[in-house]
Amino acid sequence: MWALPAQPPNQTLRGFWDPQAAEWGPVAIEAKQRKSRGEEKKKKKKKKKSSLTKAAAAASGGGMEGQSQHRAPEREGSHNYDIESTDGSGGLWRRNGSSSGALLRYNDSGGGRSGSAGEPLLRKRTMNTTSQIAIVGANVCPIESLDYEVVENDLFKQDWRSRKKKQIFQYIVLKWTLVLLIGLLTGLVGFFNNLAVENIAGFKLLLTGNLMLKERYLTAFFAYGGCNLVLAAAAAAICAYIAPAAAGSGIPEVKAYLNGVDAYSILAPSTLFVKIFGSILGVSAGFVLGKEGPMVHTGACIANLLGQGGSRKYRLTCNWLRYFKNDRDRRDLITCGSAAGVAAAFRAPVGGVLFALEEAASWWRSALLWRAFFTTAVVAVVLRSLIEFCRSGKCGLFGQGGLIMFDLSSTVATYSTPDLIAIIILGIIGGIFGGLFNFLLDKVLRVYSIINERGAPFKILLTITISIITSMCSYGLPWLAACTPCPVDAVEQCPTIGRSGNFKNFQCPPGHYNDLASLFFNTNDDAIRNLFSNGTESEFHMSTLFIFFTAVYCLGILTYGVAVPSGLFIPVILAGATYGRIVGTLLGSISDLDPGLFALLGAASFLGGTMRMTVSVCVILLELTNDLAMLPLVMLVLLISKTIADNFNKGVYDQIVVMKGLPYMEAHAEPYMRHLVAGDVVSGPLITFSGVEKVGNIVHALRFTGHNGFPVVDEPPLTEAPELVGLVTRSHLLVLLNGKMFMKDQLKTSGSFVLQRFGAFDFAKPGSGKGLKIQDLDFTDEEMEMYVDLHPVTNTSPYTVVETMSLAKAAILFRALGLRHLLVVPKTPDRPPIVGILTRHDFVEEHIHGLFPNLNPHKFHSTSMGG
């Protein structure tokens, strides 16, 4: 086995990932620093004793004792230890023995370009200390990478040769069946969410309204605020104690997952449960948040649950389901699930497909497009059928369906040059407000992280505080508005009593309505419907719109980040529609467009300014409003607002991904990467296995490292010279070791007995983190001295790049192929056959900056192309 350093031999090697030195995302690192300050004093007394213990262990030749004192949280066999060399020579785990007998043999001639003459930048360190931990929902969790590469080993090849047409047909039929089920279940959940919200919120508003009709205003406030408080506390409690990963919208986590970042409980059944019921409780509590973002996460959770390939634990498995025990098929299903979530939230099937394509998915193909479209079509049919059933009045206070459907098709959208000027102004305003919204949201989330890290009680307390503020605003601010006489030609009942509508009575006498209460004292969906309503030029006063916009803008920023499932679509649409109406009212003398159309364009401009989505938002809004004539105007306002906002910061979901410390890889390489090559950022030390390796060596490497992939190199006497065989993964090694098919001699076999003993599905990825761990395996001293042939389970076709390849090209290749490991091979002969392995964290800016402190990534932006 080889250990090739990536730094000069006179430097001390620190092996693998040190969780104490890990660099997190901006919010995560602040949380970690605050937590560590309180522990520093306790550790100082133990530090000197620990150092002496390590030194003594290294001097005695048993350098593995005491190596596992610091370790990261474990999942799916992931074990991260700080392995430190104390002999000053850069060697690791030295022991005497021949070729493969040495567990980690140091080779002074290897190691890539580090320290070589002509290197443009001074390399500071070799170890990759970038985060393997990130904030998921409201908690800090260990993260791993997904692997979309096909492991082409002997078992895989035998499995494909043995597959018959019947099995291939079963796989295709089952995949279409699964996307059908995803559509059905997501549609049912979306309908259930809206049914529950409309009835719970409707009961709360009806109770409050009846008390106000009796002029019991104080009692009405306590009833209203008390209902909100109980609902908010319940939502926060189940989120904080059952599934913290369900907090927030979930779109950043789903986006990161589809990019190749996996974290425990992102898509777990408990997360699905809390996402559904927490979203219902949170929206019913009157928070300025939506259920649209959580519906995306819900659809992804449903897809993940169906795509687990069954469960051996609960005996819910069969031969058919085993085909989906891999990251590639799960990725496709989760992409369809995210599209179904948008379709269920907005009744926008085409918009759901485009959302998955534009925002969620990092990898796309034509077959996936068909399946996603089929899934969203199923969602649309399910929702349509259930809403028609509810129109008969069998669904309680369901009203108009709860789902946002603002039919503006009756409005004639004829526009001229002055209208275009007004639309350009809307786009500019949306870009400015969107950039400011993202900036303020970033600051608020950093403050909330300080509170949330203190534990579940503080999360609940924060949620209760925001609930009280929201209740005071939504009940108190309408008192500032004057009562307005009901219009004589009103189509709807005025004032509306006991149901949703444009004209809320609130404290006004009969025949009058409170226009601010019509916005605050409704569900968020009904408030948007009121703002989008056409033919209501004089319904809302200018002061009302200014007050409502200020309140919604601020409450939307304050609410997102509490420990409840919460989406940003609704706050953004509400605020955008409000200032759209303001602009429409102010420019009414020069524009012929209806204020309701201005509200739609304002919502589009704010969505473009915050989320930076164009095509999907455009189609979603057109499907919502059923007004195809607005297409050119919506396109124009989206492009302007996105262009303006891009000058300030990133889109809100991209910003949250970075803030949480999720190692998301963009479609383009950063400009400074063109000034580096792959060999510059390879982290060391590198551990390799011989093609026929001693069991003890493999066990020790698995126990004392967190690596997931190990290069396999055949050495003499197996070959005349060292040659790269391929890559073997940790999970495959664990299954192979568990089978205990060991040999007494180091001989290369045909592998036939391994192929007879195991099938390809024995090495399939387990669901929900139930795979083997090295602690589950026990070996006798005799077995530890035996050998095992790794050739049958080694991926003989790993992706490789030469060490002199541009890092920018390597990053694009890594992301486009959905890799977990990218092998770096030497350019010149007479060297070890592999220089190192590039993983996702090697492309992270913090890691590169740690290697080259003098490299300023920002100075290249003006002179280099980003794509």
List, for residues 110-124, the tens digit of each pLDDT value. Answer: 333 333 333 334 444
CA-nearest of 839, 21, 695, 766 to 322 is 766
| pLDDT for the residue numbered 138 | 66
| pLDDT for the residue numbered 392 | 73
What one-character DSSP code corresponds to residue 662? -
Same fold, 423-660 and 685-796: no
Residue with tokens 């919604």: 552
| pLDDT for the residue numbered 618 | 93
List the single range of 27-31, 151-155, 438-442 with lowest mean pLDDT: 27-31
698 neighbors 735 (Cβ within 8 angstroms): no
3-state DSSP assignment of residue 13:
coil
pLDDT tens, residue by residue, 71-98: 333 333 333 333 333 233 222 332 323 3
Is the pLDDT confidence value at 472 over 60?
yes
- Helix (H) / strand (E) element for 45: namely helix 26-59
851 neighbors 115 (Cβ within 8 angstroms): no
List the single range of 143-157, 190-204, 285-299 with lowest mean pLDDT: 143-157
299 neighbors 179 (Cβ within 8 angstroms): no
- Amino acid at site 161: R
Is the pLDDT confidence value at 644 over 90?
yes
User: CATH second-level architecture of 165-392?
Assistant: Orthogonal Bundle (1.10)
- Entry field: residues in the chain: 867
449 CB-side CA count, 13 A? 27
Q: CA 503: distance to chain centroid? A: 41
Across the beta sheet with 800-802, the strand order is 800-802, 822-825, 836-838
3-state secondary structure string across 702-759: HHHCCCCEEEEEECCCCCCCCEEEEEEEHHHHHHHHHHCCCECCCCCCCCHHHHHHCC
- Helix (H) / strand (E) element for 280: namely helix 269-284
Q: What DSSP line would sit under 166-199, residue for residue?
A: HHHHHHHHHHHHHHHHHHHHHHHHHHHHHHHHHH
3-state DSSP assignment of residue 634:
helix
User: CATH second-level architecture of 685-796?
Assistant: Roll (3.10)
Helical segments of 560-629, H only: 569-586, 595-611, 615-625
Is the pLDDT confidence value at 755 over 80?
no
Is the pLDDT confidence value at 33 over 60?
no
What one-character DSSP code corresponds to residue 357? I
Q: What CA–CA distance (Å, rounded) separates 766 from 231? A: 37
Torsion angle (degrees, nearest 10) of CA 507, 509, 514, 517: 30
| pLDDT for the residue numbered 405 | 54
Average the pLDDT over 344-362 and give the result.
92
Where are the chain's structural domains? 165-392, 423-660, 665-682+803-866, 685-796
Is the pLDDT confidence value at 30 over 60?
no
Is the pLDDT confidence value at 645 over 50?
yes
The backbone torsions φ and ψ at residue 825, rounded to the nearest 5 degrees and listed phi first, read -110, 155
Average the pLDDT over 397-416 and give the result.
57
List Cα–Cα distances, 422 to 132, 190, 602, 637, in angstroms. 48, 36, 11, 10
111 neighbors 684 (Cβ within 8 angstroms): yes
| pLDDT for the residue numbered 350 | 94
What is the percentage of the chain residues whose pLDDT exceeds 90? Answer: 38
List Cα–Cα distances, 209 to 47, 498, 678, 834, in angstroms. 65, 7, 67, 74
Kindly report each contact of residues 304-311 with a partner whose C-beta sits within 8 Å and lies 24 or more positions away, as own/partner: 304/267, 304/330, 304/333, 304/334, 304/337, 305/267, 305/269, 305/272, 306/178, 306/181, 306/182, 306/185, 306/333, 307/178, 307/333, 307/334, 308/767, 308/768, 309/764, 309/767, 310/767, 311/767, 311/768
Confidence of residue 61 (pLDDT cuts 50, 70, 90): very low
What is the percentage of the chain residues whose pLDDT exceeds 70? Answer: 76
Confidence of residue 498 (pLDDT cuts 50, 70, 90): low
Q: Which residues pair with 290 in a beta bridge?
A: 567
536 neighbors 527 (Cβ within 8 angstroms): no
Average the pLDDT over 119-143 and give the result.
59
3-state DSSP assignment of residue 589:
coil
Q: Does domain 423-660 have CATH number 3.10.20.90?
A: no
List the single range of 126-135, 147-156, 210-219, 417-426 with lowest mean pLDDT: 126-135
Confidence of residue 126 (pLDDT cuts 50, 70, 90): very low
Confidence of residue 66 (pLDDT cuts 50, 70, 90): very low
**Strand pairing category for 2-4 and 105-106:** parallel
Average the pLDDT over 90-109 and give the result.
31
462 neighbors 444 (Cβ within 8 angstroms): no
Residue with tokens 């000197």: 48
pLDDT tens, residue by residue, 803-825: 999 999 999 999 998 899 999 99
pLDDT tens, residue by residue, 565-604: 999 999 999 999 999 999 988 887 777 788 888 999 999 9
Confidence of residue 53 (pLDDT cuts 50, 70, 90): very low
| pLDDT for the residue numbered 409 | 52
Is the pLDDT confidence value at 789 over 70?
yes
More confident call, 699 vs 508: 699
List Cα–Cα distances, 807 to 161, 220, 491, 547, 676, in angstroms. 37, 64, 65, 51, 6
Confidence of residue 70 (pLDDT cuts 50, 70, 90): very low
Is the pLDDT confidence value at 223 over 50?
yes
| pLDDT for the residue numbered 316 | 57
State both tokens at 763: 């090495």
Is the pLDDT confidence value at 670 over 70?
yes
Is the pLDDT confidence value at 44 over 90?
no
List Cα–Cα distances, 188 to 175, 276, 379, 627, in angstroms. 20, 11, 8, 27
Q: What CA–CA distance (Å, rounded) separates 774 from 741? A: 16
| pLDDT for the residue numbered 131 | 47
Q: What CA–CA distance (Å, rounded) separates 864 from 867? A: 9
Is the pLDDT confidence value at 416 over 80?
no
| pLDDT for the residue numbered 309 | 62
Is the pLDDT confidence value at 413 over 70?
no
Mean pLDDT of all residues belonging to the chain: 79
More confident call, 127 vs 753: 753
CA-nearest of 467, 491, 519 to 205 is 519
CA-nearest of 522, 488, 483 to 502 is 522
Is the pLDDT confidence value at 189 over 90?
yes
- Burial zone of 771 (CB within 10 Å; 0-12 exposed, 13-18 middle, 19+ buried): middle
Contacts with 475 (C-beta within 8 Å, 6 or more apart), sequence order: 220, 221, 224, 225, 520, 521
Question: Could you tell me the sign of the dihedral formed by the alpha carbons of 42, 45, 48, 53, in that order?
Answer: negative
| pLDDT for the residue numbered 224 | 94
Confidence of residue 104 (pLDDT cuts 50, 70, 90): very low
The pTM score is: 0.82
Average the pLDDT over 724-743 and give the result.
89
Contacts with 393 (C-beta within 8 Å, 6 or more apart), sequence order: none
